[in-house]
């Protein structure tokens, strides 16, 4: 699965690619910078972020069962959370509770269309790029997880 990010002028702003079918590992790039993302664990999953080609984690963030995530980046706290489950909307929220980056679904999702708005314009460009790409990765994992659960339910109903 591949998600191409475009800016307001429809110019390429970055991309996130899952590395393999139903993968929990991804590669992201924006503005000449590249990172790798990986979800580890099952009952207590953790997402790791590394600069491409490096072996040291830039950050580690625990992901809850509901898909929420908290992390510290550049000395600031951020939390990933759904803002509208019915519409598939999510946001990165600051430690103070203000939305800093908002994700709004644009139909059709199957083509990877997602509107990403940077609400906090004082956010440093590197932090905004990394959070924007990491949020896209988390959304891709959510879609894959939902597909896997649906397939399992259908398979179980056919067998029984």
Burial 79-113 (b: 16+ CB within 10 A, else e): bbebeeeeebebbbbbeeeebbbbbeeeeeeeebe
Rounded mean pLDDT, 7-30: 82
Checking if the pLDDT of 106 tops 70, the result is no
Confidence category of residue 113, pLDDT binned at 50, 70, 90? low
Q: What is the domain range of residue 112?
A: 2-159
pTM summary value: 0.83
How many Å apart are CA 144 and CA 159, to the nearest integer? Answer: 22
**DSSP strand E in the chain: where?**
2-6, 12-18, 25-30, 33-40, 46-51, 59-63, 69-73, 76-84, 89-94, 99-105, 114-118
CA dist list (Å): 142 to 18, 26, 32: 12, 13, 27
The predicted-structure confidence for 129-148, as pLDDT tens digits, reads as follows 899 899 988 888 877 777 77
The pLDDT, as a whole number, for residue 100 is: 93
Question: What is the C-alpha to C-alpha distance for residues 58 and 84, in angstroms, rounded to an integer?
Answer: 29
What is the average pLDDT value for the chain, to the nearest integer?
Answer: 83
- Note the pLDDT of residue 28: 95
For 77-94, what is the mean pLDDT? 86
Q: What percent of the chain has pLDDT over 90?
A: 32
In whole angstroms, give the CA distance from residue 98 to residue 31.
Answer: 26
Report how many domains make up the chain: 1
CATH code where residue 103 lies: 2.40.160
Mean pLDDT confidence for 32-38: 94
Give the tokens for residue 70.
């908290």
Query: Residue 111: its pLDDT value, please?
Result: 54
Phi-psi region of 156 (alpha: psi -120 to 50; beta: other; left: phi over 0): alpha
18 forms beta bridges with 26
pLDDT at 34: 95
């Amino acid at each position: 699965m591949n998600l191409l990010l475009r800016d307001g002028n429809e110019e390429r702003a970055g991309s996130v690619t899952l590395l393999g079918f139903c993968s929990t590992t991804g590669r992201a790039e924006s503005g000449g910078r590249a990172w790798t993302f990986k979800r580890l664990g099952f009952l207590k999953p953790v997402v790791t972020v590394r600069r491409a080609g490096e072996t040291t984690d830039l950050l580690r963030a625990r992901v809850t069962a509901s898909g929420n995530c908290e992390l510290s980046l550049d000395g600031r706290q951020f939390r990933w959370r759904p803002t509208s489950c019915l519409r598939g909307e999510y946001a990165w929220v600051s430690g103070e509770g203000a939305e800093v980056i908002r994700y709004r679904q644009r139909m059709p999702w199957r083509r990877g269309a997602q509107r990403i708005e940077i609400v906090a314009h004082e956010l440093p460009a590197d932090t905004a790029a990394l959070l924007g790409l990491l949020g896209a990765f988390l959304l891709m994992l959510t879609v894959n997880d939902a597909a896997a659960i649906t397939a399992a339910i259908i398979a179980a109903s056919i067998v029984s």
